[in-house]
């Protein structure tokens, strides 16, 4: 039957949507510091819908399989002194790699023998990139830039920082550039790509984003990798390292097959979306994924935050428009119908996010429209009480008084 009070319906659908978003803001800001809100937020803030796609890329895979890139090789230099790393670099240089990236920072001078050997190895490497990092000191608000000692020579450097405030957080992003004083510093992965394929690096920089989402394709099992012992003993295919990107770093002990938690991070590749126990990917493997993404130009494009919230507001408004009619005129069945609509809508919206991500590499954050849909059914009861109180006190008209007496 035609709606008798369309203006009141639209107005209350709009205002109830505003009310829902006001409540969400209160939950998010938690101005009164209610512990329950903190617990709820902390439980879900590190989970994203698109993790469902990434987590399927990291099962227990055999070593003989297609790798994410034929251009990248990782070499484990765990538990080695500077002189031993120098010998490893010299050995790799005999294979004529395209570029060598060393994911270690050699702070300050040490004994002169080790340092002289390492400097000589650096000087003999035509294309070399060393890692650096920005460090926040708890007692000092100023950010410190840590890099390899100048006594080892002037080398190309790039920061290896990943955008996480704690090792308990999931690594999803990396910053595309930073500054130390007035000098611009590029990420470690980008500096390596500049040496390997400058045109791909240029295309990446032209995107102009302050940060990029890492398009993971796999962890250590899906990347060519060798232990340093294998390289030193020629236990690898001859000529395999030629014209390749060689990343020297840490991914566990040569003597211990079990994961070592140093430089080990949670990523969306983790098989468990919730209740995770151990991290899943070493930092050097994350760098390899970033390099692979830039070389393939397989970027993930993030929708603007304003668009996500506007879209969420419209979705919530449409639901409130439907819910209000059921609430006022079919109140006996309101909760059943609303919950069914809520369930179906949430499922379809999640599928829509996954479809955009899988087919077009577009990341649409689900929270701005799924959370309002999940809350609006129950918050409508509170809004009903509020507007009826306003009607009684100030004679403000409302759609809630246009139907039969139902409660």
- Secondary structure, 3-state, 179-198: EECCEEECEHHHHHHHHHCH
Residues 397 and 407: their CA atoms lie apart, in Å, by: 18
Indicate the burial class of 253 (C-beta count within 10 angstroms; 0-12, 13-18, 19 or more): middle
User: pLDDT-derived band of residue 5, with 50, 70 and 90 as boundaries?
Assistant: confident
CA 256, CA 242: separation in Å to the nearest integer?
A: 29
Is the pTM here over 0.85, yes or no? yes
pLDDT of residue 44: 47
| Average pLDDT rounded to a whole number, residues 31-51 | 55
pLDDT at 239 over 50: yes
Greater confidence (396 vs 242) lies with 242
- 196: closest CA among 240, 244, 156, 242? 244
DSSP three-state, residue 298: coil
| Mean pLDDT taken over the chain | 86
pLDDT at 55 over 80: no
Per-residue pLDDT at 404 exceeds 80:
no
Contact 55, 268 (CB under 8 A): yes
Instruction: Summarize pLDDT for 73-107 with one digit per residue, the tens.
Output: 999 998 899 999 999 999 999 999 999 999 999 99
End-to-end CA distance of the chain: 23
Contact (CB, 8 A) for 126 and 270: no
Chain segment 283-313, per-residue pLDDT in tens: 999 999 999 999 999 999 999 999 999 999 9
- The better pLDDT of the pair 50, 391 is held by 391
Percent of the chain with pLDDT over 90: 60
Write the pLDDT tens digit of every residue in 320-348: 999 998 888 888 888 899 999 999 999 99
Q: What is the pLDDT of residue 36?
A: 46
Residue with tokens 């040490």: 110
């Amino acid at each position: 039957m035609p709606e008798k009070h369309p203006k009141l319906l639209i107005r209350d659908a709009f205002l109830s949507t505003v009310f829902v978003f006001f409540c969400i803001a209160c939950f998010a800001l938690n101005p009164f510091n209610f512990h329950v809100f903190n617990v709820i937020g902390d439980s879900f803030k590190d989970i994203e819908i698109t993790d469902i796609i990434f987590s399927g890329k990291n099962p227990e895979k055999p070593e003989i399989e297609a790798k994410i890139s034929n251009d990248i090789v990782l070499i484990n230099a765990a538990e080695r002194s500077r002189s031993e790393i120098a010998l490893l670099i010299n050995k790799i240089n005999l294979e004529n790699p395209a570029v060598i990236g060393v994911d270690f920072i050699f702070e300050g001078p040490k004994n002169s023998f080790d340092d002289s050997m390492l400097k000589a190895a650096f000087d003999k490497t035509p294309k070399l990139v060393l890692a650096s990092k920005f460090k926040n000191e708890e007692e000092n608000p100023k950010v410190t830039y840590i890099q390899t000692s100048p006594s080892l020579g002037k080398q190309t450097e790039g920061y290896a920082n990943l955008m996480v405030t704690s090792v308990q957080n999931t690594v999803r992003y990396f910053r595309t550039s930073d500054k130390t004083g007035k000098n611009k510093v590029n990420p470690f992965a980008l500096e390596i790509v500049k040496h390997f394929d400058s045109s791909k690096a240029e295309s990446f920089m032209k995107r102009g984003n302050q940060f990029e989402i890492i398009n993971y394709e796999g962890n250590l099992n899906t990347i060519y990798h060798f232990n340093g012992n294998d390289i030193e003993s020629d236990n690898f295919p001859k000529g395999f390292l030629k014209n390749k990107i060689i990343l020297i770093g840490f991914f566990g002990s040569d003597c211990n097959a079990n994961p070592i938690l140093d430089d080990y991070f949670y990523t969306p590749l983790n098989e468990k979306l919730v209740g995770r126990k151990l991290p899943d990917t070493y930092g050097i493997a994350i760098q390899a994924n970033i390099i692979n993404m830039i070389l393939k130009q397989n970027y993930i494009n993030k929708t603007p935050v304003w668009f996500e919230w506007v879209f969420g507001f419209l979705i919530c408004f449409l639901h409130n428009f439907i819910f209000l009619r059921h609430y006022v005129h079919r109140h006996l069945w309101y909760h059943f119908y609303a919950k069914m609509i809520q369930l179906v809508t949430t499922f379809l919206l999640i599928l829509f996010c996954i479809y955009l991500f899988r087919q077009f590499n577009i990341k649409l954050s689900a929270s701005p429209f799924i959370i309002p849909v999940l809350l609006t059914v129950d918050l409508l009861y509170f809004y009903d009480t509020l507007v009826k109180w306003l009607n009684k006190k100030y004679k403000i008209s409302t759609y809630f008084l246009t139907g039969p007496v139902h409660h």
